[in-house]
Amino acid sequence: MRAAIIKHTYDAVMKPHIQASSEIIEKPAFTFIDLFAGIGGFRIALEQAGGKCVFSSEWDKNAQETYFKNFGEIPFGDITKEETKSHIPDNFDILCGGFPCQPFSICGRKKGFEDTRGTLFFDICQILEEKQPKICILENVSHLTKHDGGRTFRIIIESLRNLGYNVAYKVLNAKDFSLAQSRERIFIVGTKQGLFNFEKIKKGESVVLKDMLDQDGDFEFLNKEEYTLLDKTYVKQQDKTGLIFCGYRNKGIWKKGIRPNTEYLSRCHRQPNRIYSIEGTHPTIPSQETSGRFFIYNPKTDKVRKLTINECYRLMGFPDSFIKSNNVGEKYRQIGNSVAIPVVKAIIDSLIEQNFLNQSAENDNVRGYIQQLEFCF
């Protein structure tokens, strides 16, 4: 299916690459470019806020296909190529993207921008240096702050500062933005005028799994003998994540090195075997779990079933109308690689409210917030 779609659209769309949004915004509140676009999570959030995408880039062919189905355009490919960068327009307002983080391999004798050479972040820096947009919004795993003893993150922040950006960052959890998923990601916001205040972001109402599930459908239930539920005295909600771990699947395990009578620990410590109550949140949906082995327990019906693929997309804030890949494994991989849409939407809404899309924004707007940028490594 992918080959058929790509074949008949490449000549028309890629030569020349005419990007056409699925929803034409005649007078956008701002313009943005969508880097490492995946299947368009950032784009949906920014378009919801009134923005218009003027360039997109994604190297993965399967993700390109899904992006095309939903936005009517095939993203440009490899952003490391100068040919790709040559199509980026001037005078856009925001650069956004969930960039991959490869190890920064050189010894760090130089500082900032030059230390990023050979990584995809270096390509972001090149674009920022040349185009100088008002704002950049970057997303990555929360562990980024600890990678290589904190050195990688320090280089990223110093690089953005050296390019003329005031940099704020914070780890945000999707569960705080009306999604029943505990998903922590770090967001980095660079601004030309003033310093973005994360504390002014408006969070959403608290929800749990049962609030976001399908009420009926072709569900995949487990038989009673296929799982073990924990005694109720051991079931409690985790304060930080909102998770309620309540059981595990009775899957075969490696027995070598397992102490007698502790086999259940091996089962329950493997994430795909875990079962969570719908009275709490769901753990982070990963990109590596391409079989969708996510199991939930309904105390009212006393049944365990697999989370559906539609529910996985809903837990990331994607609308039910979103057109998914035809390949099951790709569906799970693509959503696991995506971004929680309501979190990005809350950030862009706050940027607008804090007047960062207006060139006259003053540094005094965020006086006293600079302490967030101190490093504690």
317 φ/ψ sector (left φ>0, alpha ψ -120 to 50, else beta):
left
Question: Shortest CA distance to 243 belongs to which of 292, 311, 174, 301?
Answer: 174
Helices (H), the chain: 2-13, 41-48, 61-71, 82-85, 120-131, 151-162, 263-268, 309-314, 328-336, 341-353
Helices (H), 140-204: 151-162
Distances (CA, A) of 126 to 92, 99, 268: 15, 14, 46
Residue 321, number of CB atoms within 10 A of its CB: 6
Active site residues: 101
Instruction: Look at the chain and count its residues.
Output: 377
Residue 27, number of CB atoms within 10 A of its CB: 6
CA pseudo-torsion sign 237, 304, 275, 338: negative
Name the amino acid, one letter, at 51: G
Judging by DSSP bridges, how do beta strands 51-56 and 274-277 pair with one another? unpaired
The single residue listed with the structure tokens 């003329």 is 164
d(CA 119, CA 268): 37
Distances (CA, A) of 213 to 77, 201, 298, 307, 321: 35, 27, 11, 8, 15
Question: Shortest CA distance to 112 belongs to which of 162, 57, 42, 170?
Answer: 162
